[in-house]
Structures are given as C-alpha cells and as structure tokens.
Structure 1
Amino acid sequence: MRHLTKILLGLMLVLAVACSRTPPRATVGTGPVYVSGTVPQLGDSKPHEWRNGHPYNHQVHGIDISRWQGDIDWGRVRGAGISFAFIKATEGGDHSDPAFPRYWREAAAARVPRGAYHYYYFCRSGAEQARWFIRNVPRERGALPPVLDLEWTNSRTCPGRPGPAEIKREANIFLDIVGRHYGQRPIIYTTVDFYRENQLGDMRAEFWLRSVADHPRMTYPGQRWAFWQYTGTGTVPGIKGNVDLNAFAGTTADWARWLSMRLTR
C-alpha cells in the first residue's frame, strides 16, 4: 500500500506541473477551444474542425501506440503533457507486439502511467485470447487496467463476422478471466460501426470510444465513456510521425481519483 501511495503522489505531481499554466483560448466552430500547441503540446497532421466540443477542452490527454511508432523519447512525451499511454501487447492467441516489452519498461521509467491492450481476433475463443494476454503482460502494481480492443478487422485468415450474441459472450469471457487475474476489469475500446452493429451498450465495462469526426456524445448518444480516441493523425514531441491521441472524460482531479480506484494493486 505504501508503494502504491508513492505512485499516486508522483502522478499527482506530474499532473500539477502539466496543468500549471492556463492555455489561451480561441473560437473554432461553435465554441471556445484550447489552441493546439499550448498545454498539452499536441498537434494534428490532418486537423479537424470540431463543431460539438473540441478534444482540447479536456484536461487529460494520452496516446495509444504499437511497434509502428518506432523509438520514442518518453521524457519529451511526458513533458508535452501526455498523462497516459496504452500499449499494444497482444493479438489473437499467438501474436505479440515485439515493441511491447521495451515500451512497457520505458514508459514506467519516464513515470508515464501505462496499460496494455489486446486486439481481438474473431477466430479464437475469448478464453484462449485471455490466456495469451496474461502470458505476455506482467501483473504490475501501478499499471493501468487492461484493454480489450473490439473492432471489425480485414483479416485474410479470419474473414468471418460472428453475430452480436457470440461476440459479447466471448468478449465477456475474456473480460472475466483477465479481470480476475489483474484485479481490474478491462476497459473496452471500440469503433462507431462495431459498437452500433453489435449493440455493445449493454456490456458491463468502461468504454474507450473512437470518434474522429465528432464528439462521442454525438456518435454514441447516451453512452458513458472514460476515454475518447479523437484522432489517428496526432503529433506529439518525442514521437516521429502520426500517433493516436486520446482524452480522458474528466478533469485532472477526476483523473487522480480514477487512478486511485483503477490502478492495479
């Protein structure tokens, strides 16, 4: 417990430093937004005009990454105001991202809260995929909750699309097994089309929603969410090329409270 308290105090100090300046405001679309390049120091290689709520109105931002991001300067990433990172760990029942172990260590060394995500494969059972994830992702005190990535894939080896009942049954098996192992029920990441076609709103989980053309309240009406992936063409100091950017639903104070409840113990 003492070790976890130190982790939380360190995270709260990082948040206080990152948010110590009030960014200037500008009017874009129908409402005020934070100006890109202030705090956090984020950008977008293909910027979007947000008419129903700009992601920079949220105080807490993070990235999700895989091997394609290459070498990362985690000190610069943290200094740019990035508060969390979700790292691809596994896919299906036999594939692991070769960059995961390195990113996992480097993010921790830079004191960037990080979690691992699993890319779901529809030709393997939920139980088999859960065992593969557990085999590859360490159970570490202070890690973010695991994530189950549910979206349609264009796989040549698994072209079929199961029905909603089968998808939710097997996904819940994964959530149960992984949740018991890490002591935190996984977050579900999903896309607009997959969410709608499989009626995911009745699943028992926190949601991380992809919505790159409008605010989640417009694309997922009525759905509560913890994280919003708002672009796949983001730019962050310390990362070469584009990277996915995400916002947390609450304030910095909400983020500290969320971490106190959802970190692995």
Structure 2
Amino acid sequence: MQTRNNNNAQGIDVSHWQGVIDWPKVATSGISFAFIKATQNKIDPQFLANVKGAKAAGLMVGAYHYMDDAVTTVDKARAAAQVFYQAIQAAGGANLFELPFVLDYESNKQNLSKATLTANAKAFLEEIRRLTGVTPMLYTYPAFIGNFSGLSDYPLWIARYSNQAPVDASGWKRWDFWQYSDGQVGGTLPNGDRKVAGINGPVDLNEFAGTVSDLRAKYGKKTTPEREKPMETVAELEKRITALEKKLNMSGKEPLPKWAELAVISGKQKGVEAIATSADKSVPELSALQMMYNIGLLDPDILAAIRKLKA
C-alpha cells in the first residue's frame, strides 16, 4: 500500500473517551476531518455533541460503528447496522455527513470463523449502503485484515501505528485513510507532534490519501446553483394572491366531497364548531376531521374536554 505524505489532509477519530472537545481549537490545529464514534451496543454519549461541534467548526465529518463481539450472526450484524442508522438519523440524517460511514471491525473474542467474520462485515456494510445510499468503509488493522475476503470493493481505513506503509492484504492495495497513531505511539503530525489542541489527552491521528483539496473534491457536498429566476410582476403576484384567497375562502358554496361526507355529517351532529364549510378545496380541516372520524374521536365527551382545554 502507499506511504504517508506530508501534504496529506490530517484528521482525528474520537469517542466519549476524549470527553468534551473544544472543536474550534481542533480546527485551528491543522485538523481537516473527524470520524466520530456513533454506536457500539448503543449510541455513544458524546456522539451528537461531537457531530454538532465538529460541523460547526468547519471540519468534514464521518461516523463509525464499533462491531461488538456479541455480534455473531448476519442477522445481528444487520440489527447493529439499524442501531447505527438510527444514530445517524438522530444526528441529522445521512446527508449531514461528508465522509463515509464506517464499520470498525477489529475483535474476535468469540473465535468466529473467517467466513463468519466476512459474512457479518458484508451484512453490516450492505445494510448501511441500502439504508443511506452511500458506500461505507471498513476500518481494521493489519493483523486482523486477513479475516476478510471479497470485501476489497469497499474503501479501507487501515490502522497501523507507524510511518511504515501497510502491506497489501486481502485484496486491498491501497488505503483511503490511515490511522497512524493513537496519540502516544506511531507516527506524528506533520509538525512532529501528536498533541491536538482542544483535546485533553491522547487522540487517534489519521490522514487521508490526498490533500485537503483532494479530500473536499472527493467527499465535499456538490451543489448545482439554481438559475436565477426573473422577478414576478406585481400583476402576477396579485393573480397568485387572488387564487390563494379563493382557495382558502370558506364560503361553503362548493359541493361536499364524497370522501368527507360521513365525517362532516357526524361532526356536525356532535357539534364540532370548526366546521364552517362543506367545500373540498383541499381544506386541512376536512382531512383532520376525516381522520378523527376514522379512529372514533368524534365523541361528545372528548370534544367537551378539548373545548375545556382550549378555554
């Protein structure tokens, strides 16, 4: 695999173990990106705060899931992917993250076979790709990567605490990200240090296989600017306003739509004061009334209670 390069974009990966992070200070220390732990058995207690802080500081952000040893089958792997996806949704959804979603798979205390480890990893990765529409990435280290086969179509984040390049393995001939230090041993930042401002204690150090510009070109959000629309004339605006007023007019002259007949009749019989029209006109009140009717909420006692609360 390729070697390190001093021009490569520098980043970190963090979890609750780093405590509260001063993300603006991190951003001023030469760090361009951050992978943030989202889940293991449950959501990481600092995940949401870390995502918010890193995004606000202008860093490119990714999220990772640590595959727990309790995951021993493909069904459990898919369930773990669902937990991970729920955390992504809680943070703001897949579109909030620029960097790939990551499966961190590095432990086998259950002594599972290589075939099972590969199947579990594949099930998780495929489920995340299905849920997010984004190709995820695998994180592991050289002594563990030999457990996987047939997964090299997924990008690789390799962990090796050294400046010596990892060797090709299990179908991978290159890495997209390299975790070269845990903040205590291994390689150093281009400035020769392992300390990152804004973080108390050690933190994992990583680099992307390219410059910051390369990183943003590959993973940055690409938006196509909309063509400027000509301003509407006063006459056009007045026409739109008139049409809107007509749509919202509660004159009651239009015939009652068939779909709302039973609900409106029942509502009037029960004394629903909000019914001021039988017009269709896509009036939200009719739809709400129909739903109330369908689930049996047009009950005099319930309506009386609602009026009391309103008063």
TM over 0.5: yes
**1:206 partnered with 2:161:** no
2:160–2:166: 8 Å Cα contact kept in structure 1? no
Structure 1 position 220, deviation (Å)? 5.0
Of the three residues 256, 260, 265, the one matched with 2:216 is: 256
Q: Which blocks of at least 5 consecutive residues in structure 1 are unaligned?
A: 1-51, 154-158
Structure 1 position 207, deviation (Å)? 0.3
Distance 1:250 1:172 in 2: 27
**1:62 partnered with 2:11:** yes
Count of aligned pairs between the two proteins = 203
RMSD over equivalenced CA pairs, Å: 2.4
CA offset digits 1:102-157 (Å, max 9, x no partner): 1111111112111110000233221111111112222242412210001025xxxx
Matches within 5 A, 1:1-265: 55=4, 57-91=6-40, 94-124=41-71, 125-138=76-89, 139-143=93-97, 144-152=99-107, 159-196=109-146, 198-200=147-149, 202-218=151-167, 223-233=173-183, 234-260=194-220
Greater strand proportion: 1
* Greater Cα shift, 74-83 or 56-65: 56-65
Q: Which blocks of at least 5 consecutive residues in structure 2 are unaligned?
A: 184-193, 224-311
Distance 2:220 2:51 in 1: 20
TM-score where L is the length of structure 2: 0.60
1:60–1:248: 8 Å Cα contact kept in structure 2? yes
1:65–1:87: 8 Å Cα contact kept in structure 2? yes
Greater relative contact order (CA < 8 Å, ≥ 6 in sequence): 1
TM-score where L is the length of structure 1: 0.70
Distance 2:6 2:42 in 1: 37
1:90–1:136: 8 Å Cα contact kept in structure 2? yes
Cα 1:109/1:116, change in 2 over 3 Å: same
Q: Percent identity?
A: 36
Distance 1:127 1:150 in 2: 14
Cα 1:101/1:260, change in 2 over 3 Å: closer
1:58–1:247: 8 Å Cα contact kept in structure 2? no
Structure 1 position 216, deviation (Å)? 2.9
Cα 1:78/1:201, change in 2 over 3 Å: farther
Structure 1 position 257, deviation (Å)? 2.0
Distance 1:205 1:103 in 2: 26
Distance 2:202 2:84 in 1: 26
CA offset digits 1:14-68 (Å, max 9, x no partner): xxxxxxxxxxxxxxxxxxxxxxxxxxxxxxxxxxxxxx95x46242000000101
Structure 1 position 256, deviation (Å)? 2.2
3-state SS of the aligned residue for 1:121? coil
Cα 1:89/1:177, change in 2 over 3 Å: same
AA matched with 2:111: R
Distance 1:63 1:231 in 2: 10
Computing the radius of gyration from Cα coordinates, the structure with the larger value is: 2
Distance 1:80 1:168 in 2: 38
Structure 1 position 258, deviation (Å)? 1.2
